[in-house]
Structure 1
Amino acid sequence: MTITDIQAASQKLRDNKLFELFVVAIIILSALLIGAKTYPIPQAVMQAVTWLDVGITVIFLFEIVVRFIAEPNKRRFFHNGWNVFDTLVVVVSLVPIEDSEMALVGRLVRIFRVLRMVSIIPELRTLLNSLLRALPQLGYVLLLMFIIFYIYAAVGATFFASINPDLWGDISISLLTLFRVMTFEDWTDVMYETMGTYPLSWIYYLTFIFLTAFAFLNMVIGIVVNVLEDEHARERAEQEEAEGKITLEDLQAEIRELKQLIREQQKNNTP
């Protein structure tokens, strides 16, 4: 078997939907094993779980090798960030560090193997790419949101510290209290407590909630949705372009075949 045959077989296996579903099932099994290790289980079962974990690591290594061989341009394989992430996770999982000082790192890396689900499923990659592309725009919204938080925390620490130091003792504690108010976690108890001393303090809470929970969070959602729509539109455009190229190639091939048939007929008709 030549190298070309091996690459063709690897490409066929990589693009096989059953193989993709098998890898997804292995990732789910890996996540279940991680959860099983958090329970007090018998030593025999723990040994079986350990061997299953080794088998999963070998399967992941095989899948990475298949994807690497299937790539026509080997140098471009590591230009994809997900390929780099998958390779690092698998390579670190192969290092026998369970009984060393790096055992905690090994367990942490095995937990991150669940993220390989994102690299396998295109829809999850699209969602994550959209979120990453939205970060620059979200940064300014979050900065403005932090400024509002800081102003309200300073006001709360100034006026309400004497009422309840546990909630308003300093600006850092006030920030945590305001986060509790924004998430509606028993925020009315906090409001009624300060209203006993400052009856109009409800204005402070309602304006803060309208600015943060309603205005800024809706802005964040809107930015993410817009970027997600742009990402879907870009993928559709790339897919249509690829389909257009394939159609053009098919037409060119058919034209060449027609020309060949015309030449053959002309030769047959020539005395």
Structure 2
Amino acid sequence: MTIVQIQNASLRLRNNKIFELFVVSIIILSALLIGAKTYPIPDSVMQLVKWLDLAITLIFLFEITIRFIAEENKKRFFHSGWNIFDTLIVIVSLIPIEDSEMALVGRLVRIFRVLRMVSIIPELRMLLNSLLRAMPQLGYVLLLMFIIFYIYAAVGATFFAKINPVLWGDISISLLTLFRVMTFEDWTDIMYETMDVYPLSWIFYLTFIFLTAFAFLNMVIGIVVNVLEDEHAKERAAQDEADGKISMDDLAKEIRSLKEMLEQQRKD
């Protein structure tokens, strides 16, 4: 077989849905083996698990090789962060470090092989990319949330420290207590305890919950949803371009250019 034939065969195999499902099933099997190793199992079964782990690593090596061969521009293959991640995971998994001081690193790498599910499934990859793209906007929301947390923690430590120093002894402990309140973990017990001394302290808790659990949470969801919609729009535009379809913007430009040509012909 020529190089072109090998590349075309690799491309067909990479784009094959059955092959994709096979790789996904291997990733799931890898995750199950990771969980199985956390149980006390007989030595014979552990030996079988090790052989299966080696077979999974070889399958991953075959899959990443197919993806590399199928890529027309080999340099572009490593422009993708997911391809770099998959390659590093496979290479480190091939290194025999189970019985060395680096055994812990080997176990961690095998745990992170589950993340290859994201690189294989486009929908998961889109969700993660949307979350990463939303991080700059989310950063400002988190900063504002921290300011609210800090103000309420300072107020709580000032007024409630004598009531329960375990929960309100200083500002760092108060921050943890407020996080517990925000997640609704027995927050009413904390509120009733302070209400015995300060009957109106319920205002403190209700306003804090409204600002953090409701308002800020909805802001975070709104930002992520907007970014996700932008990602879907870009993907649809790229797919239309690949299929040779004209987008609405391109169609509007074509109509405007035709109108300009007709007006020019009328003037002439």
Same fold by TM (over 0.5)? yes
With 130-139 and 236-245 compared, the bigger mean Cα shift is at: 236-245
Q: In the TM superposition, what whole-angstrom CA distance separates every residue of 1:56-109 from its partner, at most 9, and x where no partner exists?
A: 000000000010011000000000110000000000101111111111111001
Cross-structure match for 1:11? 11
- Give the distance between the partners of 1:232 and 1:145, measured in 2 at CA: 29
- Give the distance between the partners of 1:244 and 1:7, measured in 2 at CA: 24
Cross-structure match for 1:172? 172
- Give the distance between the partners of 1:238 and 1:10, measured in 2 at CA: 23
Helix, strand or coil at the partner of 1:131: helix
- Give the distance between the partners of 1:244 and 1:62, measured in 2 at CA: 33
Structure 1 outlier segments of 4+, above 2 Å: none
Structure 1: runs of 5+ lacking an equivalent: 247-271
- Cα distance, 1:242 vs structure 2: 1.1
- Cα distance, 1:241 vs structure 2: 1.1
Cross-structure match for 1:101? 101
- Give the distance between the partners of 1:13 and 1:72, measured in 2 at CA: 14
- Give the distance between the partners of 1:175 and 1:182, measured in 2 at CA: 10
Cross-structure match for 1:68? 68
Cross-structure match for 1:55? 55
Helix, strand or coil at the partner of 1:101: coil
- Cα distance, 1:110 vs structure 2: 0.3
Cross-structure match for 1:209? 209
One-letter amino acid matched to 1:53: D
Identity, in percent, stands at: 85
- Give the distance between the partners of 2:104 and 2:172, measured in 1 at CA: 32
- Cα distance, 1:136 vs structure 2: 0.5
Cross-structure match for 2:239? 239
Helix, strand or coil at the partner of 1:185: coil
Cross-structure match for 1:265? none
- Give the distance between the partners of 2:237 and 2:12, measured in 1 at CA: 25
One-letter amino acid matched to 1:168: W
- Give the distance between the partners of 2:245 and 2:87, measured in 1 at CA: 32
- Give the distance between the partners of 1:18 and 1:204, measured in 2 at CA: 57
Cross-structure match for 1:39? 39
Cross-structure match for 1:193? 193
- Give the distance between the partners of 1:10 and 1:243, measured in 2 at CA: 22
- Give the distance between the partners of 2:120 and 2:222, measured in 1 at CA: 27
Q: In the TM superposition, what whole-angstrom CA distance separates every residue of 1:231-254 from its partner, at most 9, and x where no partner exists?
A: 1011001111111179xxxxxxxx
Helix, strand or coil at the partner of 2:230: helix
One-letter amino acid matched to 2:126: T
Helix, strand or coil at the partner of 1:163: coil
Structure 1 residue 125 and structure 2 residue 125: aligned? yes
- Give the distance between the partners of 1:207 and 1:12, measured in 2 at CA: 58
- Cα distance, 1:5 vs structure 2: 1.0
Cross-structure match for 1:28? 28
Q: How many pairs were matched up?
A: 246
- Give the distance between the partners of 1:48 and 1:130, measured in 2 at CA: 40
- Give the distance between the partners of 1:138 and 1:245, measured in 2 at CA: 35
Cross-structure match for 2:264? none
One-letter amino acid matched to 1:55: A
Q: In the TM superposition, what whole-angstrom CA distance separates every residue of 1:167-200 from its partner, at most 9, and x where no partner exists?
A: 0111111001000000111000000000111111
Which structure's CA Rg is the greater one? Answer: 1
Helix, strand or coil at the partner of 2:185: coil
Cross-structure match for 2:266? none
Q: In the TM superposition, what whole-angstrom CA distance separates every residue of 1:208-231 from its partner, at most 9, and x where no partner exists?
A: 001000100110001001111111
Cross-structure match for 1:160? 160
One-letter amino acid matched to 2:227: V
- Give the distance between the partners of 2:54 and 2:158, measured in 1 at CA: 58
One-letter amino acid matched to 1:34: I
One-letter amino acid matched to 1:140: Y
Helix, strand or coil at the partner of 2:184: coil
One-letter amino acid matched to 1:184: F
One-letter amino acid matched to 1:222: G
- Give the distance between the partners of 2:85 and 2:145, measured in 1 at CA: 32
- Give the distance between the partners of 1:99 and 1:154, measured in 2 at CA: 51
Matches for 1:130-141 after TM superposition, within 5 Å: 130-141=130-141
Helix, strand or coil at the partner of 1:41: coil
